[in-house]
A and B are shown apart, each in its own frame.
Chain A
Amino acid sequence: MATTTPLLTLTAKELASDQEVRWCPGCGDYSILAQMKKALAGVGVPREKMVFISGIGCSSRFPYYMNTYGFHSIHGRAPTFATGLKACRPDLQVWVITGDGDGLSIGGNHLIHCIRRNVDLKIILFNNEIYGLTKGQYSPTSRIGTRTKSSPLGSIDNPLRPLSIAIGAEATFVARTVDVDINHLTETLRKASAHKGTAFVEIYQNCKIFNDGVFEYATDKSIKADNTLYLEHGKPLIFGKDRNKGIRLHGLDPEVVTLGSGINVDDLLIHDEKAEEPSLAYLLSRMVYPRFPECVGVFRNVERPTYDDLLNQQIEEAVKAKGRGKLDELFAADDTWVVQ
């Protein structure tokens, strides 16, 4: 009988560092940390091969709490450190932990460029629609009219939709999940871990102190079924407490319809996370509460060569073609002359 190599398993406890976790009581980050440890315990990657890299903000303290390699960097720049690391060390599994301010405001540039290159990174964006660590200013994802210390009459900046940005930059894996939906969160992190290429995950995360309840429509058990739509690949877009509502395409726009009364399941949009073109995923990312249910799950999951693979392939091919370069031939790779 053939013997199989047993899969490496870790426990969540082994993935916890010895540092005291210092988020506010009730913060959504606790759940994300717990589900991350749970998810990674079973992905078969040894602890020493995992690296967590973060920027600045409440979420960015995350690496200190994982017993893996970690790098708490500077505001908005985590994707750059991660790109350099992954480019040189394709053997590592590299996670980027960021927030709505870190990833989309000060670090927006790096985020889109990292995604367009399809560097094999897992980017987890904790979206709480507020600046927490700087004590409560509106963020680039805050809804118009958000009243904060820096917007006492309500914010006037149109918010970014993180997933629309990621899809616009042609991310190969795009998903959304919610801090309190722990099973879905764990499952989504596992899927991100398994993806080869940039995996972008937005997590709706509640900030208890400065923006409490901003996602209540998507988390309150009594109403969330009517306000969210859990995506499943190949399945029609159905939602609602009674599973009787769906999304139909009207021209190029989605519309909410009620099943029955002449509308049946065949009229609804079918989710296709493998679609080559990102149009459908983009359309789903534009569905915003209260006009629409907000989609949760995997929006897009396609394959494309990764930046790190392509980079390292070029090196391998150059070495294969002409042999590994030697210094003395490099020095003399130009006209030389000898002085006697």
Chain B
Amino acid sequence: MTVLNSPVQPPPVKHAQIQELDSAIVRFAGDSGDGMQLAGTQFTNASAILGNDIATFPDFPAEIRAPAGTLAGVSGFQVHFSRNDIHTPGDSLNTLIAMNPAALKTNIKDLETGGILIVNADAFGPGDLHKAGYKSNPLDDGSLKSYRLIKVPINVLNRAAVSEIKMSPREADRCKNFFALGLVYWLYERSLDPTVRWIKDKFAKNPAVLEANIRTLKAGYNFGETTEALPVHYRVAPAQIKPGKYRKITGNEAIALGLVAGSQLSNLPLCYATYPITPASDILHQLAGYKRYGVRTLQAEDEIAAIGMAIGAAFGGALGVTATSGPGVCLKSEAIGLAVITELPLIIIDVQRGGPSTGLPTKTEQADLLQAMFGRNGECPVAIVAPCSPADCFNMVFEAARLAIGFMTPVFLLSDGYLANGAEPWLIPNVADLPKINIKHPTAPNGNGNGQAPHFLPYKRDSRLVREWAIPGTPGLEHRIGGLEKEDVTGNVSYDPQNHEHMVRTRAQKIANIANEIPPLEVKGPDHGDVLVIGWGGTFGSISTAVERCQRKGLKVAQAHLRYLNPMPKNTGAVLQNYRRVLVPELNRGQLRMLLRAEYLIDAVGLNKVQGKPFLVSEIEEKIEQLINDKHGKVTMRVDGKLMDEFVDDAGNAN
């Protein structure tokens, strides 16, 4: 651990001209074996430590090493860094680093006109061009003339930088991502120190590789300083964000930390049982290293076993957690139903990815909302929460723990691939300020009526309809639970029709009661207006930015973001009534929109994208403007407490 005072002073710069920027967007792109994720992560760390606000978007193929040089094998890492408060990785790039023709071809469309394009000129031979499907060399044929093309012979310069170190040419070539990184560090005036430190730590056991990486990193930096191809470089000052101690965090890291926090503040041991699946596995990797925090990680034989283990742990008094992605949720469905009927606390983390079936394992999507709501047999309600940013994953998984324990229920946390791998600065909370989660396992029987000896009634409930969590090992509270319908209060197996209906309603009401203990839906912007943009999950950043831009244009647009999806905050219906149109942008075909329409009878309009990619800000912005200009659509709104119908023809739902 290193504590630094912000801002870290970048190294002094010699002669190139410096230009101040508010923010910049850079993408590293290359073969999946080229180390682009690493370069992007290091650049992110350096920018975070410098004090910029950051938002990142790693984008990589499902194959570990797709055939080298092909379009399918391109891996990219986008970093947006700013002196302002930012919410997204950005729509278009200021700088693109393309390590080969395939990376150029798949990424060039995202580079702004006039943007800086740094290419590894050594990777543009006839064979490389052919693999990427180029008929002529784009570096020479004039097709890139609208960009500031910087051709850098990275292979040659990298080999020269490491020439004094004894290593094979193949090993030497593996260092070239650090050359590119060094060059970009110069371009945006970042300190090399965090990366040098990381290299020293990572390659401590391999001095040759350690030395080679540092040399080529510095060579890249020095190349920037001396080349005349780059007459200008840029400075992005530290962001004016809330004072405090920060670190960079991804969504998956935040979930791991939030779970440990939930465990310690509830004083329950954490039992994390899971089966490896993209994009959730990193949570397992991280928690597996937390043994001295009392964390038990169980790598199960399959998805079903994983949730079974978590439920078994919960029965024994642990904080039981399982994590997966959509395909795994399918397999866990029956066991989720068991946790619902036995009323045990459980956290189910679904890091969503493109579906159906295996779908797009490494790409983001938010199409599991209805699966979480309804994807089980019988009337089977669970609580659902969804973080809205990587750092918010910490808050919401902590909330999941609070609600699961507080209401003796399974709670779904819906993250997604974008949140899981994306990073942002995290204001480290003060541990003393985190709320305690109070639980009292009963130690004495709660039943002794009807002339019976004192005994434990597993389904005796408090006024919130929550049962007591008696755990094995407690004398006198022996009881049996299970998947057969139970008589309320006693927990005896019951096939009685009236009891079944009563239990179904009770389980539903218990989940509904959660609405009494969650914060109201917040609105950012005018409390009445033309358009309310309401979303959930990882689309928050794009929606916020789009709404802010529209507000700056004077449009009467507000934003609300649901972090609690079942139940929704109590004021949700009232908020929805206050706007002429309701827009629901989602990376699915309209799942939240369906729920809102069903629950609140509101004529919500969707903006739906299912490409495995997050929204661009511009996509949402355009839709908002289109809605405001569109005078069609039957609209219900509340004016001075009365429902008013403003009738026009129904055209708003074409999406």
Residues of chain A whose beta carbon lies under 8 Å from any beta carbon of chain B = 17, 19, 46-49, 51, 53, 56, 63-64, 66-75, 77, 79-89, 91-92, 109-110, 113, 311, 314-315, 317-319, 321-340
Contact = CB atoms under 8 A, between A and B. Distances in A.
A51 B483 CA distance: 16
Contacts of B67: none
Contacts of B292: 315, 318-319, 321-325
B565 interface: no
Interface stretch (B175-183, B309-317, B644-652): B309-317
A332 B428 CA distance: 8
A88 B245 CA distance: 35
B317 A68 contact: no
Given A327-B260, A331-B431, A84 B309 contact: yes
A289 to B, nearest CB: 33
Contacts of A68: 478
A113 B308 CA distance: 13
18 contacts: A17-B480, A48-B475, A71-B315, A74-B334, A77-B308, A85-B315, A92-B316, A109-B301, A113-B305, A318-B291, A319-B294, A327-B260, A327-B261, A336-B245, A337-B245, A338-B4, A338-B6, A339-B239
Contact of B247 (A47, A75, A335, A340): A335
B12 interface: no
Interface string B217-238: 0000000000000000000001
Contacts of B483: 56, 72-74
Contact of A314 (B4, B257, B291, B479): B291
Interface in B236-294: 238-239, 241-248, 257, 260-261, 264, 269, 271, 273, 290-294
Interface string B494-527: 0000000000000000000000000000000000
B4 A330 contact: no
A320 to B, nearest CB: 9
Contact of A110 (B45, B301, B318): B301
A335 B472 contact: no
Given A72-B484, A337-B245, A84 B478 contact: no
A70 B481 contact: yes
B245 A315 contact: no
B313 A88 contact: yes
Contacts of B241: 339
A71 B480 contact: yes
A36 B449 CA distance: 30
Contacts of B264: 327
Given A332-B245, A335-B45, A337-B51, A48 B474 contact: yes
Q: Which of A17, A51, A318, A331 is packed against the most chain B CB atoms within 10 Å?
A: A331
Contacts of B257: 330-331
B320 interface: yes
Given A331-B429, A333-B1, A335-B248, 8 more contacts: A71-B315, A84-B273, A84-B312, A85-B315, A109-B302, A311-B298, A337-B247, A339-B238
A75 B308 CA distance: 11
A237 B300 CA distance: 39
A87 B479 contact: no
B6 A87 contact: no
Nearest to A113: B301
Contacts of A327: 260-261, 264, 431, 434
A64 B480 contact: yes
A51 B472 contact: yes
B473 A92 contact: yes
A338 B5 contact: yes
Contacts of A334: 1, 247-248
A332 B4 CA distance: 12
B406 interface: no
B480 A72 contact: yes
A89 B473 contact: yes
A109 B306 CA distance: 12
Q: Which of B261, B304, B320, B478 is packed against the most chain A CB atoms within 10 Å?
A: B478
B264 to A, nearest CB: 6
A318 to B, nearest CB: 4
B2 interface: yes
Contacts of B479: 69-70
Q: Which of A331, A332, A337, A339 is packed against the most chain B CB atoms within 10 Å?
A: A337
A138 B516 CA distance: 52
Interface string B1-45: 111111010000000000000000000000000000000000001
B492 interface: yes
A80 B244 contact: no
A109 B302 CA distance: 9
Contacts of B45: 335
A85 B478 contact: no
A339 to B, nearest CB: 5
Contacts of B298: 83-84, 87, 311
A337 B304 CA distance: 41
Contacts of A82: 312
Nearest to A308: B296
Interface in B302-341: 302, 304-318, 320, 334-335, 337-338
Contact of A84 (B245, B293, B316, B484): B316
Interface in B108-165: none
Contact of B428 (A80, A83, A87, A336): A336
B6 A337 contact: yes
B414 interface: no
A89 B429 CA distance: 32
A178 B49 CA distance: 69
A87 B291 contact: no
B304 A80 contact: yes
Contacts of A47: 475, 478
B1 A109 contact: no
B493 interface: yes
Q: Which 8 A-B pairs have the closest CB atoms?
A: A80-B308, A72-B482, A84-B312, A84-B309, A70-B480, A81-B312, A318-B291, A325-B293
A337 B4 contact: yes
Nearest to B292: A318
Given A81-B308, A85-B472, A109-B305, A339 B478 contact: no
B61 interface: no
B435 interface: no
B454 to A, nearest CB: 13
Given A113-B305, A332-B247, A338-B3, A89 B316 contact: yes
Nearest to A69: B472
B633 interface: no
Contact of A336 (B4, B243, B320, B429): B4
A152 B335 CA distance: 34
B474 A53 contact: no
Q: Which of B241, B273, B300, B313 is packed against the most chain A CB atoms within 10 Å?
A: B313
A113 B247 CA distance: 40
Q: Which of A47, A88, A331 is packed against the most chain B CB atoms within 10 Å?
A: A88
Contacts of B478: 47-48, 67-70
A110 B473 contact: no
A305 to B, nearest CB: 16
Nearest to A22: B493
B194 interface: yes
A110 B305 contact: yes
Contacts of A319: 291-292, 294
B316 A336 contact: no
Contacts of B484: 72
Given A51-B472, A64-B493, A336-B1, A87 B429 contact: no
B481 A48 contact: no
A311 B342 CA distance: 27
B171 to A, nearest CB: 28
A326 B434 CA distance: 14
A35 to B, nearest CB: 20
A92 B315 CA distance: 12
B294 A19 contact: no
Nearest to A112: B301
Contacts of A69: 472, 478-480
B2 A335 contact: yes
